[in-house]
Amino acid sequence: MGRKIKDVLELYIAFARVTFLTQLEYRGQYFMRMFSKIISWSSGFLMILVLLNRFQVIGTWTTYEVLFLYALDMLSYSIAATFFMGPFGKLPKIIQRGELDQILVRPVNPLVYLVCTKVSAGYTSNYVIGVGIIVICMKKLAVSAGVLNICWLVIVLFGGVLIHGAAFIVTTVPAFWILKSDGLRQIFYTNMEQFIAYPLSIYNKGIQFILTFILPYGFINYYPSQWFLKKQELFHPVLQFMTPFIGCVVFLFAYWFWNKGLDAYQGTGS
């Protein structure tokens, strides 16, 4: 078992490295992609700054607290998108063109192969911005940069990446049945995930419940950030520590759902 995992990791690293370096060969396109992403996320930061400059606080959250929320979401999304946006953003086309047949006959897990060969190099600038904003916010808010906080921050980011990754998969896999799933991703991921740019406490109970217990995007940044910022809002304090667990659970569900989609695809005789 240990040998198999080691082989998968080595294969993944090899494929990912080749894919990443291949994208870097087209430097003009690479830098344009990075620039567009910088503009996109920077506009979100500027919107928060404009709102807080006008109202000073959002709910009980100050400027740097809200920026900390936004940066956690940005960084975890960017890491997840590096590995999952490519394969699952293009999954409907891969299915329609019959390219999935070629992947299924390869002696490697189809999900691992897709993630390995579709790594995106366009999000690296987001890492720098996200980490930079988090560092600035921690300093301004006097959040300790001790070993415990840094380790927990890394674990929280890992959980957030799994939640984002699961969302990419779950909202795209229906393409196995309906061929086009862009609308589902827009409704259940893109639109709903935008709510977590701000504290869930400013929304009504229905939104709070949905983003906690149905579409658990609140665990990406809102609940774990309360531990760093010494806050306690909504439901139970234990939710502050649930991000890694929730991330693992939803990703396992996404993997199960992916396999169900593969079964349906194979059952068509395509």
Give the pLDDT mean for 158-170.
Answer: 94
Q: Please check whether residue 44 is in contact with residue 70, taking contact to mean a CB–CB distance below 8 angstroms.
A: yes
What band does 147 get if pLDDT is binned at 50, 70 and 90?
very high
Portion of the chain with pLDDT greater than 90, in percent: 33
> What per-residue confidence (pLDDT) applies to 42?
64
Residue 104 corresponds to which amino acid?
L
For residue 138, is pLDDT > 50?
Answer: yes
pLDDT of residue 257: 94
Cα separation, 162 vs 166, in Å, equals 6
pLDDT of residue 270: 44
Query: If we measure between CA atoms, which residue out of 233, 228, 208 comes closest to residue 218?
Result: 208
Percent over 70 (pLDDT), the chain: 76
Helix (H, G, I), strand (E, B) or coil at 216: coil
Closest CA to 64 of 52, 79, 77: 52
Terminal C-alpha separation, the chain: 32
**Residue 270 and residue 22: Cα distance in Å, rounded?**
31
- Mean of pLDDT over the chain: 81
Distance in angstroms (rounded) separating the CA atoms of residues 96 and 182 = 14
- For residues 121 and 30, the answer to whether their CB atoms sit within 8 Å is yes
What span, in angstroms and rounded, lies between the C-alpha atoms of 220 and 243? 7
Please give the pLDDT value at position 152: 95
The reported pLDDT for the residue numbered 268 is: 47
Instruction: Report residue 165 as tokens.
Output: 């990754």
- Beta bridge partner(s), residue 61: 58
- What are the pLDDT digits (tens) for 228-260? 998 888 888 899 999 999 999 999 999 999 999
What is the model's pTM?
0.82
Query: What letter represents residue 254's amino acid?
Result: A
- Please state which of the ranges 58-62, 196-200, 204-208, 245-249 shows the lowest mean pLDDT: 58-62
74-126 pLDDT tens trace: 899 989 988 888 778 778 888 777 778 877 877 778 887 787 777 776 677 78
How does pLDDT run across 171-185, given as a tens digit for each residue?
Answer: 988 888 876 766 777
Long-range Cβ pairs for the range 20-26 (8 Å, 24+):
20/119, 20/121, 23/120, 23/121, 23/122, 24/121
Q: How many CB atoms lie within 10 A of CB 144?
A: 10
Classify residue 20 as exposed, middle or buried by CB count within 10 Å of its CB (0-12, 13-18, 19+).
middle
Helix (H) or strand (E) holding 88, with range, is: helix 63-89
Query: Interior CA angle at 176 toward 172 and 179, to 5°?
Result: 80
Average pLDDT over residues 57-82: 88
